Structure 1
Amino acid sequence: MFGLITRLREPLSEQGRADFAQATLLSCIVGAVRGFSLVAFIPAAITLTSGSSAWGLRLGSWLVVLALCALTSFVVEYLLAMRSYSVAFDFLSNMHRAIGDKVASLPLGSFRGDTAGKTSRLVSRELMVLGEIFAHMYSPLIAAIVTSLTMLVGITVFSPVLALVCVAAIPVVGGGVWVARRCLRSGAAMKEPPARELSHRIVEYATKQGALRACGRASSYEPLQQAESEYGAVARRSLIRETLGQVVNGMAAQTVVVTLICVIGWLAVAGTVGPVEAVVSIGLLLRFTQILVDIGALASAFETRRPVLDLSHEILSAPELPTPDGRRSANEAQASSGASVSLEDVSFSYEADHPVLQGVSFRVDPGTMTAIVGPSGCGKTTIARLVARFYDVDAGSVRVGGGDVRDWETADLMAQLSLVFQDVYLFDDTLEANVRVGNPHASRMDIEDAARLSGVDDIVRRLPLGWDTPVGEGGRALSGGERQRVSIARALLKNAPIVLFDEATSALDPENESRVTDAMAALRRDATLIVIAHKLDTITAADHIVVLDDTGRVAQIGTHEELYAESGGQYRVFWDARSRAAGWKLV
């Protein structure tokens, strides 16, 4: 538990750590005042019934002591609450900033299908759960511990026998709490996998209605029903286990209570304590037992927050690509080799023993267009990702502007590249804002020029609000081809010296494909192009064509005419196959 607190302190600022130290001190003061106040009821009760002094003070003095304790507790608890909330807000602010910085610094290849869901869930709701530890849990826990220790000291002064019984009660209550925590953690671990599967299936069912309805499966989706059934069965078993832990915990606490009452009764019968002292002692020890139970409950609550802390640790500890020792600027790159790209004996695999690229070498000269073709899964897209340094190569090197991409600062490398992918994401903003992402400082004339070259101007004329039309989340208000045009407009507006096209025309209709091809021609006048395409007729004008085989090796390099002239070559086989398929039709 205290290891969890140590990990939670790490994101705090210097001021936040100072406030945390003050909150700890104030918690100890609050606990000591509470404990002393409870113990003071024993001598106060003795003076009330006997009229004589107890522990050196008379009734009036004890009433003054209790009043001072109440006043001190009010002031200190107010200061403690302010410090606790200050620490909680500091934690939330710094954690949000740390997660944002982490997301911005992670390699693009580390973003997977569940990354957005995990990060969104963490920063929107679950960080508040961690913030509650500082706001509502840490201080009460420390105060309860100090209160129980203070009460033990006071009870020892009053009756060493009762103090021994209280000390003996601690491991009993602690044992019940330990069992409850174990059952709670075990139950949570049981539910997590089926809960994650059920969440995935619900999202799948909600977002894939088109495919489900087309197949007649919208009203009865077996994977979702099965996930729900499995989660229900596991949840019931988990509930039984957690309930068993709470029963054991409750029995331990009740056993301690009954034992303490019996001991006090025995002491009263033996004449060791008087009737009034016995009644006050029973109330005091019941309070002591309840504090022990509260400590256990707070400790268990800490454990329920551990999965959220583990999730935040998973995100914040995700490995980043090594940063270069020396900074390579864009000006240095342009001065050395311009907008060139080269791969030198590159090998790469996403998983061990499953190579995607093997010994790939080729060079793209500045101002030229190079196309990469090959069967599905041969590593074409992987090459584009390595050029943009989504990942680092396993062997060899990828060079941009004559320098290894591992020697580039990320911002400088991205400044050299424009990326146009088949799957385009548009932000939930206006059409103009989505195009302006390519260059936030672009003038209106620059935006309109990019729109004309990419065909976005047609979209502007069609939409009711023109440039000010919201495109919806993910660009759902636009078709796939129109989203592709916006992506190309971004690349044109960015005016980067190197442009990567990844399957940019594979799923487009003839009109949109023509627009994309025209935009590629416009980009080619001022930039180096690397184009990955299945449609071979779109890259016949390329200066070079790199053909990969299904093992991730370079099979051929040359112009369209050179490669087509090799009758037995892989490119010729591809071309002939596409030509035969061009005339296919359904009858």
Structure 2
Amino acid sequence: MIRKVFALVPREFAALTPKLLAAITVQALLQAAAYVLLVPVLQALFDGDTASAWRWTIALAAAVAGQVGFSFLQSVLGLRIGVGMSHGLQTRLGDHLNALPLGWFETRNAGALSRLVVESVREVQGLIAYLLAKMLTGAIVPLGVAAGMLFVDWRISLAMLLAAPVLYLVNLWANRSYTASDARLHEASGEANARVLEFAQAQPVLRAFGAVGSGNKALDTALARQRKAATGLLFASVPGLIVFSLCVQAVFLVLVYLVVGQVTGGSISAAAAIALIAVSSRFIEPLNQAAQLGTALRSAAAAADRVTALLAEPALPQPDSEVTPGTPSVVFENVGFAYRTGAQVLSEVSFTVPAGTTTAIVGPSGAGKSTVLRLAARFHDADSGRVLVSGHDVRDQPSHTLLGQLSLVFQNVYLFNRSVLENIRAGHLDATDAQVRAAVAAARVDEIAERLPEGWDTTVGEGGAALSGGERQRVSIARALLKDAPVVLLDEATSALDPQNEAVVVRGVHQLTRDRTVIVVAHRLATIAHADQILFMEAGRIAERGTHEELLALDGRYAAFWNERSRAAGWRLESVHV
């Protein structure tokens, strides 16, 4: 465990870890020596040998003074490393999260991830700053006392040394049951955190459907599961603590029995017996302390395991050298992909989006349309084939180079809890006011700002909760348009807009993407009809391709899809008089 924890220490503090271990070890050995020196001190006092008593007392005082000094040193070192870990480890986790594939986050629980980065790091920090010294002291002092007792009475020393592996096995048994329960509690707590956030963010929907209070089964279930996991952790830790404490006390009774037996047998004097019992109690004290700290130590060790596991998640491979993007085109060459083994999403997908053209991807749900966009943005790497953007394989381009060429607008829009203007400028921090005005006008965000109480400076709330779905989508479109990247990826970009705003936004998108390479996944007829190329996907393959007129003339799957959409677009609700 210690090796795993020290592997998490930031590089700038790594040089302090050997000094910390050395300081802890020396202070623990000096503490053990001070306990053992009690025997000759007490023996000399009871025998009336004042000269020997003074000599042993001076040695005892030197050991105590050294122990205090090294204890102070290890406290300072532990705090320096622990405080450094608080920032350094979270920064390291943040950097690693930034290096993971974007698709990794799609299946992760935000509450559990937040708990890991905040609470688990705090537990690991506490292990270095406070618990490590107590843990090592609890192991070194008893062993040091047992070794020192060889010079006093070998039988007592042997009993102490034999007790050590027994206590270790008991502690190992307690750890095994605790670790499994702690993992369940961490998972349940992460789920509960996510449900609480969801409960706070989705109040309008929850109230509309009566899913508040006892009606919110998801939240109730998550909290009940967390309580059950916490209770399970308690029941898993308490038996181990009790059994370990009983074993420690049993060891002490055995030592006292041996000492009394030595006195009655005449092997040692009563004075020596008193000294040995005192030392035996000092031998037991660190073990009792370790038992009391066991739960905190196991919790911190489990936290270190979780942090280590996250850091072990494979990062997105990055090329060693930069590339110079060429003409902004997108090419798929026999691409195959599956999110999990045995569930193929794309099979032998090949197409080319020439620079400056728009390609629309249509088809039924589950056909793999959105996956095409995610592979182009390298959310995941293709299992087979190649994806090229601007003439280079996406795997040969550093992430900042690839994403710098792309403007993304997906179905699930996320806005920062900042002003409308700040959310739009996030697409291009150095954009001029004229560029911002052009983007917001094209996406009709200027109308939104006029209705808000503080205009452009209105804070949109967490995730954009203060705006409607259509308003959030328009802000997201403006943000992508402001970036002015050569390749634009749109996934149902107008899905949340009413017909009037959709028509305006579609015109704005066409205006600002006229010289851009565009891939759009859409079901809206206006978006599809204006495309230079249409790909009809079905079951992870391209079933048909061509222009709108060519595909209608083919009278195949796309024509049926178009006709069905056209009929649906003409539906009207009529009043019926009975």
| TM-score normalized with structure 2 length | 0.92
Equivalent position of 1:75 in the other structure:
69
Name the amino acid aligned to 2:134.
P
Q: In the alignment, is the contact (CA less than 8 A) between 2:28 and 2:141 conserved in 1?
A: yes
Which deviates more from structure 2 when the two are superposed, residues 16-25 or residues 306-315? 306-315
Deviation at 1:247, TM superposition (A): 3.0
Distance 1:524 1:423, change over 3 A: same
How far apart in 2 are the matches of 1:492 and 1:573?
33
Equivalent position of 2:44 in the other structure:
47
- Secondary structure of 1:556's aligned partner: strand
Residue 25 (structure 1) aligned with residue 22 (structure 2): yes
Correspondence 1:329-340 to 2 at 5 A: 329-330=324-325, 333=326, 338-340=327-329
Which structure 1 residue ranges, 4+ long, deviate > 6 Å from structure 2?
none
Q: In the alignment, is the contact (CA less than 8 A) between 1:179 and 1:249 conserved in 2?
A: no
Name the amino acid aligned to 2:70.
V
Q: In the alignment, is the contact (CA less than 8 A) between 2:112 and 2:190 conserved in 1?
A: no
Q: In the alignment, is the contact (CA less than 8 A) between 1:359 and 1:553 conserved in 2?
A: yes
Deviation at 1:423, TM superposition (A): 1.6
Deviation at 1:391, TM superposition (A): 1.2
Residue 348 (structure 1) aligned with residue 360 (structure 2): no
Distance 1:254 1:145, change over 3 A: closer
Residue 391 (structure 1) aligned with residue 385 (structure 2): no
Distance 1:87 1:214, change over 3 A: same
How far apart in 1 are the matches of 2:401 and 2:6?
34
Deviation at 1:385, TM superposition (A): 0.8
Name the amino acid aligned to 1:534.
H
Equivalent position of 2:568 in the other structure:
581
Residue 164 (structure 1) aligned with residue 158 (structure 2): yes
How far apart in 2 are the matches of 1:380 and 1:115?
24
- Secondary structure of 2:568's aligned partner: helix
Equivalent position of 1:274 in the other structure:
269
How far apart in 1 are the matches of 2:518 and 2:366?
22
Name the amino acid aligned to 2:374.
R
Equivalent position of 1:525 in the other structure:
514
Which deviates more from structure 2 when the two are superposed, residues 178-187 or residues 497-506? 178-187
Q: In the alignment, is the contact (CA less than 8 A) between 2:120 and 2:307 conserved in 1?
A: no
Equivalent position of 1:539 in the other structure:
528
How far apart in 1 are the matches of 2:534 and 2:370?
15
Q: In the alignment, is the contact (CA less than 8 A) between 2:245 and 2:291 conserved in 1?
A: no
Q: In the alignment, is the contact (CA less than 8 A) between 1:13 and 1:90 conserved in 2?
A: yes
Equivalent position of 1:95 in the other structure:
89
Q: In the alignment, is the contact (CA less than 8 A) between 1:419 and 1:491 conserved in 2?
A: yes
Deviations 1:284-341 (A, max 9, x none): 10120222333455566433223322321222121233323543123xx1xxxx1111
Distance 1:193 1:580, change over 3 A: same
Q: In the alignment, is the contact (CA less than 8 A) between 1:84 and 1:135 conserved in 2?
A: yes
How far apart in 2 are the matches of 1:325 and 1:236?
50
Q: In the alignment, is the contact (CA less than 8 A) between 1:174 and 1:296 conserved in 2?
A: no
Equivalent position of 1:315 in the other structure:
310
Residue 454 (structure 1) aligned with residue 460 (structure 2): no
**Which blocks of at least 5 consecutive residues in structure 1 are unaligned?**
none
- Secondary structure of 1:496's aligned partner: coil
**Which blocks of at least 5 consecutive residues in structure 2 are unaligned?**
none
User: Which among 278, 288, 296 is matched to residue 283 of structure 1?
Assistant: 278
Distance 1:189 1:130, change over 3 A: closer
User: Which among 283, 293, 313 is matched to residue 288 of structure 2?
Assistant: 293
Correspondence 1:139-538 to 2 at 5 A: 139-188=133-182, 207-221=201-215, 222=217, 224-225=219-220, 239-295=234-290, 298=293, 301-324=296-319, 326-330=321-325, 333=326, 338-538=327-527
CA RMSD, aligned part only? 2.5
Deviation at 1:202, TM superposition (A): 5.2
Q: In the alignment, is the contact (CA less than 8 A) between 1:176 and 1:253 conserved in 2?
A: no
- Secondary structure of 2:106's aligned partner: coil
How far apart in 1 are the matches of 2:473 and 2:337?
29
- Secondary structure of 1:111's aligned partner: helix
Name the amino acid aligned to 1:574.
F
Deviations 1:424-479 (A, max 9, x none): 11111122211111111112222222222221222222223222221111111122
| TM-score normalized with structure 1 length | 0.90
Equivalent position of 1:110 in the other structure:
104
- Secondary structure of 2:352's aligned partner: strand
How far apart in 2 are the matches of 1:230 and 1:124?
21
What is the number of equivalent residue pairs in this alignment?
A: 573
Distance 1:420 1:19, change over 3 A: same
